[in-house]
Amino acid sequence: MKTILYATDYSDNSVAALQYAHTLSKKLNGKLLVLHVFDLSVTIASTVSLSYSRKEVKAFKEQRERLNSFCEEHLGIEPTMNVTLRINEGTPAWESIINSANEMNVDFIVVGKKGESAIKKVLLGSTTSALVEKADCPVLAIPEKIASKEIKTMVYATALEEVDVLAIEKLVSIAKHLNASIKVVHIATKDEYAGEEQMEWFKEMLQQRINYNRLHFALWFSEDVFSALKQYLIEINPDILAMLERQGHSLIKSIWHRDIVKRMMTESKFPLMTYHKKNLTKESMVS
């Protein structure tokens, strides 16, 4: 594990995500890049190059000082070799975050699930959704009120697709560092053909590719996939839920593709790691 990018808007909602990202980076022996993206508003009348340049320099200085204070207040530390700060200017925020993530070749992005104000179009609301849909790396969304703790159990909710194996493979690379178990769950409906046989096929395919003895499997039956998954999570109480984002694959008709990820993003109390199908497919083709 190399680098985690955490993006903040300074809101109270983003504090838990900062602490979670910092704790996770230490457990993974990685580096934490703390990023804030701001919008430098300048009127047409005041855009002579000198005045604009001075405003820009001042704004960057102020934002860096504020980001430094934010980390000191909520982490109790100043930036170190393993915690670096970065200030970007630009809109939309998600685009700047993705550019930084790609430039730094980060392993995944950590953000909060909510923002300070929808009116101000701040970072941790619609931007989180945009990152889940558009980022080239996984995104870990952290609920507002969650304490950083040891990660012992992860759940991966699968639709039994081959691409799920690629996502689980990436999740295992994190779980191994944490010595965490992964529970792979599938919710089958009556319309699904041979749910038990499909699950066995998926298990065999997964075990042929991934060697990890802390993988466990569960098969539930329900006509309401979302409610059943929520109930399963209540029983297991995982430290991280992982899912595959499939937006853009409209030809897939399974009930698993009716935007369950977005519902979990808003209704689940668990940290949610999302892997995008298009990215995994692209990586698979390259390798």
Please identify, in words, the CATH class of the domain defined by 3-142: alpha beta
- Return the pLDDT at 271: 94
Of the two residues 41 and 30, the one the predictor is more confident about is 30
- Return the pLDDT at 261: 84
- pLDDT of 97-152, one tens digit each? 999 999 999 999 999 986 444 434 444 457 888 898 899 999 999 998 887 778 99
Of the candidates 208, 151, 158, the one whose C-alpha atom is nearest the C-alpha of residue 176 is 151
Mean pLDDT for 241-257 is 65
How many other CB atoms sit within 10 Å of the CB of residue 235? 8
- pLDDT of 160-169, one tens digit each? 989 999 999 9
| Token pair of 188 as six digits | 């089958």
For the chain, the domains span 3-142, 153-286
Rounded CA gap, 28 and 173, in Å?
10
How many helices (H) and strands (E) in the chain? 9, 10
- Return the pLDDT at 154: 98
**CA distances to 153, 157, 193 from 218, in Å:** 14, 10, 17
Q: Is the pLDDT of residue 250 over 70?
A: no
- Return the pLDDT at 195: 73
**Topology alike, domains 3-142 and 153-286:** yes
Q: Are 248 and 225 in contact (CB under 8 A)?
A: no
Q: Is the pLDDT of residue 202 over 70?
A: yes
Specify the pTM: 0.87
Question: Considering the domain 153-286 in this protein, what is its CATH number?
Answer: 3.40.50.620
User: Where on the phi/psi map is residue 278: left (φ > 0), alpha (ψ -120 to 50), or beta?
Assistant: alpha
What does pLDDT average to over the chain?
84
- pLDDT of 48-81, one tens digit each? 555 667 777 888 898 999 999 999 999 986 666 6
Rounded CA gap, 27 and 14, in Å?
20
DSSP 225-281: HHHHHHHHHHHH--SEEEEEE-TT-TT--SGGGSSHHHHHHHH--S-EEEEEHHHHH
Q: Are 274 and 243 in contact (CB under 8 A)?
A: yes
**CA distances to 125, 136, 158, 159 from 110, in Å:** 13, 13, 22, 24
- Return the pLDDT at 151: 93
